[in-house]
Chain A
């Protein structure tokens, strides 16, 4: 496709990003969740998955879903620089999505974590996978982190012993809301890795195949009685 000159101006300069090597996590109920990077072409099922949660005010789901929806579109339409999206899929059905982007080679800016399946620590493990990608596979130095939920955020602050950079505000600020930020450095990550990062590689072929075609969930525990409208 030839890209229009004006369109070229609106696209941010890009760093070529290495692909996240997929892994499989055995959940507490014995289920297997494949964690892999989402492809641009999968935007449809990703948006479809996120969309209903925009109507759930509880637990900050509405704002996280709305922002992630916008970030996914930004990624798809080349209006956000250096974003990557990871999905956790159980039998091909999306259980959770995390997204994040790179500011430059050294600094990552964590965006969002959205979990559909509850009670199996999927959100925590996908967040860790996001950090794994930034720091291990993309070779970054540090990742800047904030959160919409104060409770969720305090847990990360404590569980990862995040570095407090509040005193560097406003020069150091997280782009989501422009707030003072906390940072996960490679050193801090290495100290907690064995307790936070799960998953085995390589993923056995049959399991990987189940995650080839992603499906949007039929049910949302956050939305009792939800029914996806048939096309």
Chain B
């Protein structure tokens, strides 16, 4: 039976790479993956390239990026397509790679996600991301993704009694993990005293969109991540002798209404639960089988909300798990061991691929000192597009 094996992974540092060209940065991460897989000289065995990127046209004035990447890496005549699904572009690219292999259209696929967003000032970056919103009913007002994250957080706090302190606890945990991740954008730890308890916390951790503060939101980052996948029953598997393969065993995605206000219960993230259900079904597992997860915490509230939607915790109860330290690396169910989007960073097109990169790293047992999950079997990544209107879930397993 054909399965999809991930045989190589690559990643750049996430941070300020605005001096570099977008496709060069993606080429760098892809080359890291080629070296990791041990196929630099044999790279033309790749028959499909899938690129994930959201802002190429808008911010970098480049289109047809997948074709550019092929040439940058000398991979002609491989098939190549770009996948754009907002912040879930990476997850969708992984899903399309999986589909290409399972359908027989390709045997070896290179999936690379990347973004160079820091070439423009903050307000333009915000405007660009806001283009995900409904043009008439949301974008025109000057509404932003953080504004929706904030309104969601306020409703959540009102309904489930979540406090600013709970959010700060999460931020400290994510920064702790990010500090140990050499690719992370933010490697300075933060303390409860600094961001919550001290009388200076209101200034140091200022409001961006009430009630969300600076330390509740991911930074604006540049970077790229890359994966190489191969069909398990292909003769080309013989080229991948370097590392033990990790398998994609479940994928699923779903959509919800474009406008947040059109959802019956704005606190219910249906696209998250549905995509997770599909992935669980395909993998033949359920929430309790998952050893660790990368959950899309562009706003820290999402780490909480997503973990509840996918069945890790009962609705409203995730905060108790956080308070008890269940989601720390040393806990029973580590979440965002990479630092999450909060500390690792969030180059829009790269994130979904970077999440799966972390799944592979952990399942291979290759995570850095202090960051390795003990004996993981199944890892899960949830990549959240728009404000929850398009979500992709991927489950990987060690065997």
- Chains A and B bind each other: yes
Q: A residues engaging B (CB < 8 A)?
A: 25-31, 119-121, 125, 128, 151, 154-155, 194-200
Residue B99, interface by CB 8 Å: no
Residues B121 and A26 in contact, CB atoms below 8 Å apart: no
Using A119-B188, A195-B207 as known contacts, say yes or no to A30 and B193 having CB atoms under 8 A apart: yes
Provide the bound-state CA to CA distance between A29 and B121, in Å. 26
Residue with the greatest number of chain B CB neighbours at <10 A, chosen from A119, A194, A199 = A119
Residues A29 and B203 in contact, CB atoms below 8 Å apart: no
Chain B contacts of A27 at CB under 8 A?
194, 200, 204
Q: B180-191 vs A: 1/0 string, CB under 8 Å?
A: 000000101111
Chain A residue, CB-CB nearest to B121: A151
Provide the bound-state CA to CA distance between A196 and B203, in Å. 6
Residues B122 and A198 in contact, CB atoms below 8 Å apart: no
Residues A200 and B205 in contact, CB atoms below 8 Å apart: no
Provide the bound-state CA to CA distance between A101 and B195, in Å. 33
Provide the bound-state CA to CA distance between A130 and B122, in Å. 24
Chain B contacts of A120 at CB under 8 A?
188, 204
Provide the bound-state CA to CA distance between A26 and B202, in Å. 11
Within the complex, the shortest CB–CB distance from B346 to chain A, in Å, comes to: 16
Residue B198, interface by CB 8 Å: yes
Residues B204 and A121 in contact, CB atoms below 8 Å apart: yes
Residues B207 and A26 in contact, CB atoms below 8 Å apart: no
Chain A contacts of B191 at CB under 8 A?
28-30
Residues B188 and A125 in contact, CB atoms below 8 Å apart: no
Chain B contacts of A194 at CB under 8 A?
202
Chain B residue, CB-CB nearest to A128: B203
Chain A contacts of B198 at CB under 8 A?
26
Residues B203 and A125 in contact, CB atoms below 8 Å apart: yes
Chain A contacts of B205 at CB under 8 A?
28
Residue B131, interface by CB 8 Å: no
Residues B194 and A30 in contact, CB atoms below 8 Å apart: yes
Residue B142, interface by CB 8 Å: no
Partner of B204, one of A151, A154, A198, A200: A198
Residues B193 and A26 in contact, CB atoms below 8 Å apart: yes
Chain B residue, CB-CB nearest to A30: B191
Residue with the greatest number of chain B CB neighbours at <10 A, chosen from A25, A27, A121, A195 = A27
Within the complex, the shortest CB–CB distance from A163 to chain B, in Å, comes to: 21
Residues B189 and A25 in contact, CB atoms below 8 Å apart: no
Beyond A26-B200, A26-B201, A199-B200, 20 extra complex contacts between A and B, CB < 8 Å: A26-B198, A27-B200, A28-B188, A28-B195, A29-B188, A29-B189, A30-B190, A30-B194, A31-B194, A119-B186, A119-B188, A120-B188, A121-B204, A121-B206, A125-B203, A128-B203, A151-B122, A155-B122, A195-B206, A196-B203
Residues A26 and B206 in contact, CB atoms below 8 Å apart: no
Provide the bound-state CA to CA distance between A198 and B206, in Å. 11
Residues B121 and A154 in contact, CB atoms below 8 Å apart: yes
Instruction: For the complex of A and B, list the 8 residue pairs with the smallest distance between their C-beta atoms, beginning with the closest.
Output: A30-B191, A198-B203, A26-B198, A198-B200, A28-B194, A28-B190, A30-B194, A151-B121
Chain B contacts of A128 at CB under 8 A?
203
Provide the bound-state CA to CA distance between A15 and B191, in Å. 43
Within the complex, the shortest CB–CB distance from A136 to chain B, in Å, comes to: 16
Within the complex, the shortest CB–CB distance from B217 to chain A, in Å, comes to: 13
Residues A195 and B186 in contact, CB atoms below 8 Å apart: no
Chain B contacts of A125 at CB under 8 A?
203-204
